[in-house]
Amino acid sequence: MDRMLYLAMSGASHAMKAQAVNANNLANVNTTSFRADLAAFQSVQVEGAGHQSRVYSVARENGINLAAGPVISTGRELDVAINGEGWFAVQTAEGGEGFTRAGNLRVTPAGQLETERGQPVLGNSGLPVIIPPSEKIEIASDGTISTRPVGQAVSTLVVVDRIKMVNPDPATMYKGNDGVMRVNGGEASVADASVTLTSGALEGSNVNAIDAMVSMISLARQFEMGVKMMKAAEDNDKASAQLLRMS
């Protein structure tokens, strides 16, 4: 009886955790360059005296779906999207180096180039990119940033910096709570000249809304089935106790 109850409880608990991950993905279906989280569980044998007939599951660290999202043309000069594999280097809140594909950039009043979430964009030197007062900003496919200083002729363009773009091994990367990717060990990555970008475009979320909705329904049914099994185990336990009293 305890086996049935435990299996039902374990299944319902993990269905609820998977539902939370799926709900977060669905909530970010329109978030620029969002990478879907993948719920992960592992079967572990219960060791002890007697026959090893128990196996329980343990929730592991969520995986990440690194598939690229759709590229959407915006025409905005500070919107950029990575072509193929690669990442923009940004400065994390801790002062280290992180990676994102969110190319909806902006310039602060102090002239610092940053993402929409406020993370400073790094140049090839490893320092945040600073944009001087300008009338126009252009970002080339290799990440080179050129500006037309205030009061200068239309044909005047000055190279300011170059966005640091990298392509670390995906197996060494993990997602932080802020949604920014990092490399195990926290080491800075070397700029990769083969990574290119497209100006005037953004990469969308890689979450498929239809798949997420289907998963939500499926996980809800799994949770309900687990609850029903726990109720059945309780009813069987009561019936067994009643038989013992009658005997």
pLDDT at 171 over 80: yes
Same domain, 142 and 190: yes
Same domain, 76 and 195: yes
7 contacts 230 by C-beta, under 8 angstroms:
no
Same domain, 166 and 120: yes
- Give the pLDDT mean for 46-73: 77
Same domain, 189 and 241: no
What domain range is 45 assigned to?
2-65+207-246
Same domain, 75 and 124: yes
Q: How many residues are listed for the chain in this entry?
A: 247
Same domain, 57 and 131: no
Mean pLDDT of the chain: 88
- Whole-model pTM: value is 0.78
Residue 217 vs residue 185, higher pLDDT:
217
Same domain, 6 and 60: yes
Same domain, 46 and 160: no
Helix (H) / strand (E) element for 12: namely helix 2-27
Provide the number of structural domains found in the chain: 2
Distances (CA, A) of 67 to 49, 195, 206: 46, 16, 7
Same domain, 199 and 218: no
Q: Where does 46-100 show beta strands of DSSP type E?
A: 55-59, 63-64, 71-73, 80-83, 87-91, 97-100
